[in-house]
Amino acid sequence: MKRELKPIPKFKTEAAERKFWETHDSTEYVDWSQAQQARFPHLKPSTQAISLRLPLSRLEQIQVEAKSVMCLIN
C-alpha cells in the first residue's frame, strides 16, 4: 500500500528551508525507497580554521590515528 506524500513547500530562503527540515520528518514528503546514490566529484568542501585546546597526549593520539587511517587509504 503506497501512502500519499505531502507536497514539499516552496522556500524563500535557504534558512527558511533549513528551519523547516529541522522541525519536520522528511518521510512525510519524500519516498526514500526510490532514492538513488549520487556522486558529486567536483564539489569542494567548505572549511574553516578553528582553535582547539587539547591535552598533548590526546593530540598525539589523534595524530597516530590519522596516520594509520591515511596508510589504509593509500
pLDDT tens-digit readout, 12-40: 999 999 999 999 999 999 999 999 999 88
How many independent structural domains does the chain possess?
A: 1
Residue 71 falls inside a structural domain: no
Give a yes or no: residue 48 inside a domain.
Answer: no
- For the chain, the average pLDDT equals 91
- 15 assigned to some structural domain: yes
Would you say 20 and 11 are in contact if contact means Cβ atoms under 8 Å apart?
yes
Q: Answer whether residue 23 is part of any domain.
A: yes
Burial 14-38 (b: 16+ CB within 10 A, else e): eeeeeeeeeeeeeeeeeeeeeeeee
Non-local (6+) Cβ contacts of 6 within 8 A are 28, 29
pLDDT in the model for residue 18:
96
Domain of 25, in residue numbers: 8-34
**Among residues 24, 1, 2, 3, which one has the least CA distance to residue 11?**
24
Instruction: Evaluate whether residue 50 is within a structural domain.
Output: no
Q: Is residue 12 part of a domain?
A: yes
